[in-house]
Amino acid sequence: MTADQDMYASSTETTEGRVFTVSGQDWDQIAEGLAEDDSDRIVVNMGPQHPSTHGVLRLILELEGETVTEARCGIGYLHTGIEKNMEFRSWVQGVTFCTRMDYLSPFFNEATYSLGVERLLDIEDQVPEKADVMRVLLMELNRISSHLVAIATGGMEIGALTVMTVGFRERELVLDLFELITGLRMNHAFIRPGGVAQDLPPGALDEIRAFVALMRKRLPEYAALCNANPIFKARLENVGTLDLEGCVALGLTGPVLRSTGYPWDLRKSEPYCGYETYDFDVQTWDTADSYGRFRIRLNEMWESLKIVEQAADRLAGLEGAPVMIEDKKIGWPSQLAIGSDGMGNSLDHIRHIMGESMEALIHHFKLVTEGFRVPAGQAYVPVESPRGELGAHVVSDGGTRPFRAHFRDPSFTNLQATSVMSEGGMISDVIVAIASIDPVMGGVDR
Amino acid sequence: MSGDEPGKAPDQRAVDESPENAPATLDPEVRAVGARHGMFGTKGSGDTSGYGGLVQPVVYPGLARRPLDGWHEEVASALDAALAAAGVSDAVEGIVVHRGEITFHVRRDGLPAVARALRDDPSLRFEVLSGVSGVHYPDDKDRELHAVYHLLSMTWNRRIRVEVAVPDADPHLPSVVATYPTADWHERETYDMFGLVFDGHPALTRILMPDDWPGRPQRKDYPLGGIPVEYKGGTVPPPDQRRSYN
């Protein structure tokens, strides 16, 4: 090896052919090396640390020139054993783990798990109304923040950096609301079996209304920037197409399915948390391509704003109503309060259990150390996450910990369409097709 | 009381033999799988609570009696008819209805026929396979490994569950990828995590764990792992070795 050669970007001979390790500024070496080969066939290993693969996703692309003849996904780089870990914690603690799976839509992870546990406990009718409204409010705000990231990173991956900066600008406003309501920007563990962890803090409704008003001004900016933008349309239109039959066979749901014109939305078809009482429309498009999925996400944000407004109006009339189930054997007793040094234990609650009520202390102790028991059986209550059908298969053996919790994550299922969406197209369109699926690798690998 | 007299054993019978403490007979509607011992998860140390001797059966919802309620019966009879037409009328072992959700327990050799009937029969039309999930029941003798399929009918807006149980010693079952292409990655994940072998799958390889990973992580006999953590002079054991309620 001579001094001007990069020791990390060398080529090696293997039984499969010559392998190049690309590390940048070494195109001359690769071009020279390939010139010796008479075949046009190249296998490119893209990722798992590539900035345009939408996360730690590895793509194995077989190319003829610039055309993709075969595309395969390598996943698992973000597998953290969340489902296994949940088997060693109590039912309530499970929320803390599953919220971290699909990190762009934490409330949906918590909601589908909590709904499954509630069905097994047979307490679906006892969840207070205010908890349901707060769940809907948080999920719809979360849908907006998730779609903003989908549009923002999708734009960034095709080089539209302004779309990225405006998308993250608005997303930050949603995360500020989450911080105000739950105390955390992400990984909230806020929706729990039996209700939600906290009541709405004072002033939250005003902040939410201000956000909705601001978003109504800002969302048209996205439409003005992208909808008719010739470059944007040229990159997205007729790219990553998948028709209804393909979607159903491959189990695709969410914006990808709705971009075929089929209005399938679990909020309408199998309403949960009282979605049937809100006024909103299911958004569809008829092009079955990446552009249609972009427009659906944009339109769904408008619908989510409508739901958020309705939820805020209901919450205004529910001041002081309970947010956790009445049953003292299930409802998490501990309360947090904002003190001078941030969020911490509620002194009122400590005074109550330590000084006023022996029963409250016992319930607190039993629930925090042992947790509650869930009758044996299994449940599956899917929700419509920003990416499609998200469901938790919750299995109990009657104990204080989940016997098995398996998440049917829409990113995992939808990513299977990578091959069919990108084979036969250009390599640059692979990026667009994957961005239109909007997979979140935390959810894919769990 | 005679037991107070010195030198004479009390004539009271041992606690667990007295009729009040005999275990209740099981409801025929439930299915017992294994038993739960004790209450506080401690093993090997002296039991001062008295709860260590507690033995409770673990009972799952039992088989439902036909006819079922509402659309469950429509689906069940349509499936019966479709399977009889396909010549595999014994494919369904039993039906469990619990919390409004219906589960068809299917013999593994009948699974491809059941999947095809569920997808293609006009009165069933379960077009979408939502996912495949594995569950390991170590106490369910000769039925240790379960593959659970969640199916959705968009035509009828119905959801059902199909469950196949296979013994740990012979963890083979047919793949449904031919009927539901979406099962590809789901079956690979179940194979990866439980070692269930889906015969006929186009490329059954590990998907989430590295290719050379030893063991099947989601099985109950696979440890969670972790190391003890020292904190302020005390040692906190890893989560799977902590004292816990069972």
> Which chain B residue lies closest to A263 (C-alpha atoms)?
B154
| Residue A51 burial class via C-beta count within 10 angstroms: exposed 0-12, middle 13-18, buried 19 and up | exposed
126-165 in chain B: CB under 8 A from chain A: 127-131, 133-136, 148, 150, 152, 154, 157, 159, 161
For residue B59, the chain A residues in CB contact (below 8 A) are 376, 398
pLDDT at position B4 over 70: no
Give per-residue pLDDT as tens, B8-67.
444 544 444 444 555 555 555 678 888 887 777 666 666 677 777 788 888 888 888 888
Q: SS3 of B60, please? A: strand
Reported as a single tens digit per residue, the pLDDT across A367-386 is: 888 888 899 999 999 999 99
Which residues, numbered 196 to 255 in chain A, qualify as contacts with chain B under a Cβ-Cβ cut-off of 8 Å? 248-253
| DSSP state at residue B208 | S
Does the structure show a pLDDT above 90 at B243?
Answer: no
Q: Establish how many alpha carbons lie within 13 A of residue A128's alpha carbon, considering only the half-sphere containing its beta carbon.
A: 22
Per-residue model confidence (pLDDT) at position A320: 85
CB-closest option in B99, B185, B189 to A120: B99
Predicted TM-score (pTM) of this structure: 0.88
Q: Which amino acid is at B91?
A: A
pLDDT (0 to 100) of residue B225: 85
Residue B147 CB neighbours (<10 A): 26
Residues of A in contact with B189 (CB under 8 A): 412
* pLDDT for the residue A340: 67
Question: Before A439, cis peptide (omega within 30)?
Answer: no
Q: Is the pLDDT of residue A2 over 60?
A: no
State the average pLDDT for chain A.
Answer: 88
Asked if A371 is an interface residue toward chain B (Cβ–Cβ < 8 A), one would say yes
Span A107-121, average pLDDT: 94
Contact between A138 and A102 under an 8 Å Cβ cutoff? The reply is: no
β-pairing verdict for B158-166 and B101-106: parallel
Cα–Cα distance between B197 and A434 in angstroms, integer?
Answer: 30
Residue A192 burial (CB count, 10 A): 25
Which residues on A lie below 8 Å from B206 (Cβ)? 76
- B231–chain A Cβ distance below 8 A for any pair: no
Q: What is the pLDDT of residues B131-141, one digit of tens each?
A: 999 999 998 88
Distance CA A135, CA A128 (A): 11
What are the pLDDT digits (tens) for B114-124? 999 999 999 99
A93 touches chain B (CB under 8 A): no
Say how far apart CA B157 and CA A366 lie, in whole Å. 41
Q: What is the pLDDT of residue A273?
A: 92
**Residue A4 confidence (pLDDT) above 80:** no
Which chain B positions have a beta carbon within 8 Å of A248's beta carbon?
127-128, 154
pLDDT confidence of residue A6: 53
Nearest to A249 among B103, B181, B244 (CB): B181
At residue B28, the pLDDT reads 55
Q: Which of residues 119-178 of A touch B (CB under 8 A)?
A: 119-120, 122
Kindly provide the residue ranges of all beta strands, DSSP E only, lying in A203-333, ordered along the sequence: none
pLDDT of residue B10: 47
Residue A216 pLDDT more than 90?
Answer: yes
Say whether A46 sits in a helix, a strand or coil: strand
Give me A395's structure tokens: 């299995």
Q: Which pLDDT tens digit goes with each residue over A128-177?
A: 999 999 999 999 999 999 999 999 998 888 888 888 999 999 999 999 99
Instruction: Say yes or no for a CB contact (<8 Å) between B36 and A398.
Output: yes
Predicted confidence (pLDDT) at residue A15 exceeds the cutoff of 90: no
Q: What is the pLDDT of residues B151-167, one digit of tens each?
A: 999 999 999 999 999 99
Look at residue B105 in the predicted model and tell me its pLDDT: 93
To the nearest 10 degrees (0 to 180), the angle between helices A106-121 and A129-157 is 150
Name chain B contacts of A245, Cβ cutoff 8 Å: none
Q: Are strands A67-74 and B158-166 parallel, antiparallel or unpaired?
A: unpaired
Is the alpha carbon torsion for A352, A355, A356, A360 positive or negative? positive
When CB atoms are compared, the residue of A389, A393, A399 closest to B246 is A399
Q: How many CB pairs under 8 A join A and B?
A: 123
- Return the residue in A265, A400, A413 with the most chain B beta carbons within 10 A, the one to mutate for interface testing: A413
pLDDT digits (tens, 9 = 90+) for A389-444: 999 999 998 888 999 999 999 999 999 999 999 988 898 899 899 999 999 999 99
The reply to whether residue A89 touches residue B103, judged by beta carbons under 8 angstroms, is: no
Interface of A with B in 14-53 (CB under 8 A): none
pLDDT tens for each residue of A248-302 = 999 999 999 999 999 999 999 999 999 999 999 999 999 999 999 999 999 999 9
Q: Three-state SS for B110?
A: helix
Please name every residue paired with A62 in a beta bridge, in sequence order, or none if there are none.
A43, A70
Q: What's the pLDDT tens digit per position in A299-349?
A: 999 999 999 999 999 999 988 888 888 888 888 776 777 666 666 778 888
Mean pLDDT, residues A231-238: 90
**Which pLDDT value is given to residue B2?**
43
**B101–A378 C-beta distance less than 8 A:** yes
Query: Can you give the pLDDT at residue A5?
Result: 53
Sign of CA dihedral B243, A188, A396, B56: positive
Residue of B60, B211, B220 best to disrupt the A interface, most CBs of A under 10 A: B60
Map tokens 């009271």 to a residue. Answer: B12
Kindly determine whether residue A79 and residue B209, on different chains, have CB atoms separated by under 8 Å: yes
Interface of B with A in 173-192 (CB under 8 A): 180-182, 184-186, 189
CB contact under 8 A, A377 and B186: no
pLDDT confidence of residue B45: 64
